[in-house]
Structure 1
Amino acid sequence: MRPLSAFLLTVLLVGICLLQVAAGSHCTPNSWCSDRNGTCYRKGESSCNGSSFSYGCEDKHCACCVSDPTVCIEKHFCLKRNGTCIPEEEDCPGEELLDGCLGEGCKCCVEYPLNITVECEATDICEEHNGTCFEKGKATCNGTSYNKGCKGMLCACCIPDTSICIAKPFCEHEGGVCVKKSAGCEGQVLSDGCHGVDCQCCVEDDHDHEDD
């Protein structure tokens, strides 16, 4: 009976480990998400029918989804500048930042500005696509905005050519590439995985596939 007992103990330990791994893969909301009645989902595996923001969940591969379109949510650069999102009809006693909020009819208001020096430097990928750096909140982009395209806090790269598809970090993490939707995808499509118009993140079934 001893070998059988040892086998059962091994099976039990393996089961516990699997449960721990499964529990660890769940997306857990933090106070930012919970206070807005949001729920967390894993990027690429699900989509959000509402406003989605990354800093609302404990796992960096997750995002918080708030289905109520009237809830105002600060974008990351709005928070970094000590801003708060308020309804557009309310008066702002300070500086208003451009495009600093998620949600309908919201604006980012900075009542007490921080003394921040912003220096933007274009990366290779920004320059390759003829992009220029701009300071988020101070200017808008008439094209494709790419946050990782410029070095420097509160900077982003504006690429005038909207036909270009650029992968978001979680798309790259999953081994995906961004292509036009018209090109199709022989594999799994990860939701909202790309910057650009009519682009999709495609993770091919065969990760070892190489172009001829």
Structure 2
Amino acid sequence: MERSLETQVSLAVEAWLRWVPRWEPATHRGRVAPCRRCLGSPILAAAGIGANVPHGVQHGLSTRIKAIVDAAVAAYTAVNLPMLQAELDQQSARNRARAYRPAEDLAPEFEGMPLDPEPVPGAPFLFTLAGLADEASAVLPPLPPLSDEAKAALRREVALADEYANMIGREICGLLLRHRLAVQSAISQYVEPQIEAMLAELTESLDSPFDPDSL
């Protein structure tokens, strides 16, 4: 029996709430590029997760919700958008043919994140996971070309899929409002104390210019 959208959202939030106690601040060098999935996300705003919350905490929930939207759009596309479905089927077959797929089967907290860290100036990588994945894709034959009419029809179906995704997203935002208190409580209990501890440790490690003992 297919689960309702409300049930799926509740399960996603519950899974995120079980994961949050295991979250720890990242100690590696941060990335410069913002996450397009999380930056300014109405999903996160509806859930009560502010922009000042660490990105890893945001990403863990936004990815779980994205999976719900993707599944709903996939079901809608399979029934109503035959051209787009055919293109997606071809792309899926192409992806399955790749010998190296490092971005697949990742935990929600890592899905969609960059595969490699930011390079350090003057210290180039011998290889990167993203580069190896690109090499695996390059050996595959290209997809068959489309006529102008087919391209126009495909664009119309893509627009319809986008409209449906937006509709589902708005509905999910309404459902997430019911979980705001639980989400914010988890952040207050498990995330904020760790951030405060990091700031306190940083403060203690800095020499105060007004400390007479340092003169």
TM-score range normalised by the length of the shorter chain: under 0.3
Higher helix residue share = 2
* TM-score normalised to structure 1 length: 0.21
- Relative contact order, higher structure (CA 8 A, sep 6+): 2
* TM-score normalised to structure 2 length: 0.21
Higher strand residue share = 1
